[in-house]
Amino acid sequence: MDFSILIPARLASTRLPDKPLADIAGKPMVVRVADRVATAGAERVVVATDAQRVVDACAAHGVQAVMTRSDHASGSDRLAEACEQLGLDGDDVVVNVQGDEPLIDPALVRDCARLLAEHPECAVATAAHAIHDLDEFRNPNVVKVVLDAAGRALYFSRAPIPCWRDGGGALPQPAPLRHMGLYAYRAGFLRRFPTLPPAPTEQLEALEQLRVLWHGERIAVLVSPLAPGPGIDTPEDLARVRAQWGR
């Protein structure tokens, strides 16, 4: 199975300035991510950035990077341009790995790509894992997903879904699912995605993946037994991940 991994990385971050270049045990964070997913079996691993400093840092560590425009509204927009530069189109499978997840499981990346390859009726694949904590289920910062009988997404929400009408406020059974921000796309769809009008539900929930469903495309969902490794959004997050590298 051939697939590509693209890692969007931009320097602008209000909570952690220059985040892609943050040092983790002697290497920039974005390089740590690229190194981590290099074992997933992809044909190529490419960083897509809007900063020459990121391109230079990647080059210094043997990581391929492409320069994209600085005015992209989202990471998927940036990856759409990267697909064009790399000549990826049609049914080529592209996995979007966030540049702030140096602890991501390479097997999860590979399995997400394989899931999309095995579901030709879907334009996108993503991942989820079971929620076993009621506070997490109620937390609007935790995105939930509900699936159909074939394991495809019916809806994503910040609200606690599915709602157990007779549960008395308890956690639904079977366990609800937390969406994980990992996506595999068909490159042709990814290149078309920025041209699609935003969905009303997307604007209400602030969830870009709802645009996919709104426009009638399907999303296959890989249910993982494990939660993902922690991402890095703040200096405190960075300190915790550095500690795991023994620094």
Say if residue 95 is exposed, middle or buried (CB neighbours under 10 Å; 0-12, 13-18, 19+). Answer: buried
- Quick check: is 246 in a domain? no
User: Is pLDDT of 148 > 60?
Assistant: yes
Residue 245 and residue 222: Cα distance in Å, rounded?
28
Question: Per-residue pLDDT tens for 46-69?
Answer: 999 999 999 999 999 999 999 998
93-96 and 4-9 strand pairing: parallel
Q: Please tell me whether residue 199 adopts helix, strand or coil conformation.
A: coil
> Which residue segment(s) compose the domain that 73 sits in?
3-228
| Assigned domain for 103 exists | yes
Asked whether residue 233 is assigned to any structural domain, the reply reads no
* In a domain? residue 210: yes
pLDDT (tens digit per residue) in 124-138: 999 999 999 999 999
Inter-residue contact 162 to 178 (CB < 8 Å): no
CATH number of the CATH domain containing 28: 3.90.550.10
Distance between CA atoms of residues 206 and 159, nearest Å:
12
The dihedral built from the CA positions of residue 159, 121, 129 and 162, taken in this order, carries a sign that is positive
Please report which confidence band the pLDDT of residue 106 belongs to, taking 50, 70 and 90 as the band edges. Answer: very high
Model pLDDT for residues 215-246, shown as the tens digit of each residue? 999 999 999 997 777 788 888 889 988 888 86
pTM, 2 dp: 0.93
Dist CA 127 CA 246 (whole Å):
29
Q: Is residue 239 situated within a structural domain?
A: no
Using an 8 Å Cβ cutoff, are 95 and 4 in contact? yes
Coil, strand or helix at 25: coil
Measured from the Cβ of residue 140, the count of other Cβ atoms closer than 10 Å reads: 12
The answer as to whether 193 is a domain residue is yes
On whether residue 245 sits in a domain, the answer given is: no
Domain-embedded: residue 143: yes
- Domain count within the chain: 1
Question: Which residue, 197, 6, 192, is CA-closest to 95?
Answer: 6
